[in-house]
Structure 1
Amino acid sequence: LVKYLFGTYKIKYHVHGLAHESVEIDFTPPYKRISLLNALEEALGKEDKFPLASELTTDINKANKFFDNLCKKHHVECTHPRTTDKLIDKVIII
């Protein structure tokens, strides 16, 4: 999509507005594949120890409670219904 829209895989993005310096974002494939849970755990620091992925996928209540607590801890608002999917979406923006 980036290549189609801009004619290149590399685009300039003005994080702080056009008056400030831009950063280059490179969308050149192939893309690095990452584990969502590992990336979140790494980004949030070691104080937020994530359960094993197998525990979160086999016990939906545990997953919901874990991500609900994570949102509360980091003051991330999430409207009702606070489904696990919705909580994960909110945690990603921390």
Structure 2
Amino acid sequence: LVKHLFGTYKIKYHVNGLDHEPVEIDFTPPYKRISLLSTLEEALGKEDKFPLASQLTTDEANKFFDDLCKKHHVECTHPRTIDRLIDKVIII
């Protein structure tokens, strides 16, 4: 998509506004694949054992991510579904 829109895989992005130097972002493939849950778990110091991906539909998993948001003072409005909670946890 980036190549189609800009004609190149590298774009300049003004992270701090147009009056500051832009940052170059390189979207050149191939991309490194990461596991979302294990990367989050590692980034948060493995204080708590994250639920397995196969368990994300359980009430326990929902409670785990709800508690994680509360612990890190991350707000998530209702409905506090597992999808919304994980989305919010990513910004921690």
> Aligned-pair RMSD on alpha carbons?
1.9
| Structure-2 residue corresponding to 1:8 | 8
| Structure-2 residue corresponding to 1:33 | 33
Once the two structures are superposed, what CA deviation does each residue of 1:30-53 show, in whole Å capped at 9, x if it has no partner?
Answer: 111000012212333x16333252
Paired residue total: 92
Structure having the larger proportion of residues in helix: 1
User: Any residues of structure 2 matched to 1:4-83 within 5 Å, and which?
Assistant: 4-44=4-44, 46=45, 48-53=47-52, 57=55, 60-83=58-81
Unaligned runs of 5+ in 2: none
TM-score normalised according to structure 1 size: 0.84
Once the two structures are superposed, what CA deviation does each residue of 1:41-74 show, in whole Å capped at 9, x if it has no partner?
Answer: 2333x163332525x6266112111110111111
In the TM superposition, residue 14 of structure 1 has moved relative to its aligned partner by: 1.1
Identity %: 73
Distance 1:8 1:81 in 2: 40
Once the two structures are superposed, what CA deviation does each residue of 1:3-25 show, in whole Å capped at 9, x if it has no partner?
Answer: 01100000111111111121111
TM-score normalised according to structure 2 size: 0.86
Unaligned runs of 5+ in 1: none
